[in-house]
Structure 1
Amino acid sequence: MRVVIAEDSVLLRAGVQSLLADVGIETAAAVDNGDDLLVAIREHHPDLVIADVRMPPTFTDEGLRAALAARKEIPGLPVLVVSQYVEGSYAVDLIAEGTSGVGYLLKERVADVADFLESVRRVAGGGSAIDPDVVAQMLSRSKDPLDALTARETEVLGLMAQGLSNAAIAKSLVVTQGAVENHISNIFAKLGLEASRDENRRIRAVLTYLDSTAVRA
C-alpha cells in the first residue's frame, strides 16, 4: 500500500510515517499544505490519502477541501481525514457522496496504534472509519440549513449578517477578496439560493442565518 500524508505538524507527520513504515506501508509523499497535497496525489496516485483538516495558510479547512477536490478528480480515492476537534460539518462534507473509502478520526485516536492502523486498512479497502465522537455530534445536530456550511462559510455568513462588504470580510478574516467571493458562492449553492431578478440572494442568505441562529438561541 502507498499513501500520501498531509499534516503541517512535523512531529505528527513523521510519527504517522514511522507507524506506517513499521507495518510495511509506504509513504509516497508527505506534505504540509493543501496545494502540495493535490500535486502529490496527481503525481503518485496513492492507495490512500491521510490528511489533516486544518493546514496553512488559514488553518480552517484547507486539508479537507484538498481531499474533497482530489476525490472529484479521482472518484473513489480513499481518504482518511484527521482533526484535532469534533467538527461535524466537515464530516458531513466528507461523506456527502457516500461512505465508501472515507474516514474521519480525531487525532487522539492516532495514539491507539492498533485502532489507527485498522482504520487505515479499512478505508484503503473501500470501507469507512468515522470517529464515534463525530458520529454522536452528527446525530445530535438538528436539521438546520446552516448545517450544510463549513465552519468558515458560517463565519463569512455571520459577517455578512453584520453588514460587512466582501472587502471588509476579507480584511477581517485576513484572506483575499476572491476567497470571500468563493465562500459566498458556496453559501448560496448550499442554501439553495439561485440567482433571481426579483430577490437579493445576499439578503436571503442573511435572513436564513438570522432565522437559524434565533432558533438555536
Structure 2
Amino acid sequence: MRVVIAEDSALLRQGIVLLLEEQGIDVVDAVGDGEALLRSVAEHQPDVCVVDVRMPPTFVDEGLRAALVIRNRWPDIGVLVLSQYVEQSYAIDLIDSATSGVGYLLKDRVSDVDEFVAALGRVTAGDTVLDPEVVKQMLARSRRQDPMATLSPRERDVLAAMAEGRSNGGIATLLVIGSAAVEKHIRSIFLKFGLHPEDGEHRRVLAVLRYLGA
C-alpha cells in the first residue's frame, strides 16, 4: 500500500507517517496543503491518500475540495478524509463524489492504530468507510424527521428490499410487480424523503439509512 498524507500540523503529519511506517506501509509523501497534495498525487500515483479536511490558506474545506478533485481525476486512488469534528455535509459531499474507495473518520480514530490501518486498507480495497459517530448523527437526524410515516405500505416494502441490497429487478421479482412500478415507488420514496436528482446514486444510500434509523 502506497500512501500520500496531507495534514497541515507538522506534528500530527509526522506522527501519522511514523504510525503507518511501523505497520509496514509505504508513505511516499507527506504534505501540508491542498495544492501540494494534488501535485504529489500526480507525481506519485499512490494507492490511497489520507487528507485533513481543513488546511491552508483558509482552514475551511481545502482538504475536502482537494479530495474531491482526486476522486474526479484519479478515481482508482482511494481517499480517507480526517476531520476534527463531525461535519455531515462534508461526509455526504465525499460519498457523493464516488460510491467506493472513500472514507471519512474523526481524527480521534488515528490513536487506535488497528482501527485506523484497517479503515485505510478498506478504502484502498474500494470500500466506503464512515466514522461510527457520523452514522449515528445521520440516523438521529433521520429519526427526528420520521420520514417513514409518509410512506405507503407498498413503498415500505420497496424500501425494505432496497435495504437488503436488491436491485430494481430484484425488488420487482420479490414483490411480484413490474419494473415500472418499482421505479415509480422509488421516485415517490425519494420525493417524500426530500432526496433530489442532483444527489445522484447516493439517494439510495440515504433512503436506506433513514429506513434503518426508523
> One fold, TM greater than 0.5?
yes
Deviations 1:58-92 (A, max 9, x none): 11100010010011001232000000000000000
Distance 1:75 1:86 in 2: 25
> 2: distance between equivalents of 1:91 and 1:130?
8
The match for 2:51 is: 51
* Equivalent residue letter for 1:68: L
Q: TM-score, normalised by structure 1?
A: 0.64
5+ residue gaps, structure 2, are 146-195, 199-214
User: 3-state DSSP class of the match of 1:100?
Assistant: coil
**Alpha-carbon distance between aligned partners in 1 of 2:24 and 2:88, rounded to the nearest angstrom:** 32
RMSD: 1.8
**1:126 correspondence with 2:126:** yes
Alignment identity in percent? 58
Residues 138-177 of structure 1: matches in 2 within 5 Å? 138-141=138-141
Deviation at 1:137, TM superposition (A): 2.0
**Corresponding residue number in structure 2 for 1:210:** none
SS of aligned partner of 1:86 = coil
Partner of 1:36: 36
The separation in 2 between residues aligned to 1:11 and 1:137, in whole angstroms, is 30
Partner SS, residue 60 of structure 2: coil
CA distance in 1, matches of 2:67, 2:27: 17
Q: Is 1:87 matched up with 2:90?
A: no
Q: Which residue of 1 aligns with 2:8?
A: 8
Q: How far apart are the structure 2 equivalents of 1:30 and 1:124?
A: 18
Q: Is the 8 A contact 1:54 1:61 kept in 2?
A: yes
Q: CA deviation at 1:13?
A: 0.5
1:17 maps to 2:9: no
Q: Is the 8 A contact 2:48 2:77 kept in 1?
A: yes
CA offset at residue 98 of structure 1?
3.7
| 1:58 match: secondary structure | coil
SS state of the match for residue 5, structure 1?
strand
SS in 1 for 2:14: helix
Instruction: Tell me if structure 1 keeps the 8 A contact 2:72–2:97.
Output: no
- Looking at structure 1, the residues matched to 136 and 26 of structure 2 have their Cα atoms a distance apart, in angstroms, of 33
Distance 2:59 2:75 in 1: 26
How many pairs were matched up?
A: 146
Q: Cα 1:70–1:98, aligned 2, differ >3 Å: closer, same or farther?
A: closer
Aligned residues of 1:80 and 1:120 also touching (Cα < 8 A): yes
Question: Comparing 95-104 with 23-32, which one deviates more in the overlay?
Answer: 95-104
Q: By how many angstroms is 1:127 displaced?
A: 1.1
The aligned counterpart of 2:71 is: 71
What TM-score do the two structures reach when normalised by structure 2? 0.65
1:102-142 Cα deviation digits (max 9, x unpaired): 11000001111110111111111111221011112223346
| Paired residues of 2:104 and 2:130 also in contact (CA < 8 A) | yes
Q: Distance in 1 between matches of 2:58 and 2:2?
A: 28
Q: Does structure 2 retain, via aligned residues, the 8 Å contact 1:76–1:100?
A: no
Seen in structure 2, the aligned counterparts of structure 1 residues 33 and 2 have a Cα distance that, compared at 3 Å, is same
For 2:57 and 2:116, the matched residues in 1 are separated by 27
Distance 2:138 2:98 in 1: 15
* Contact preservation (8 Å) 2:3, 2:27: yes
Question: How far off its partner does 1:49 sit?
Answer: 0.5
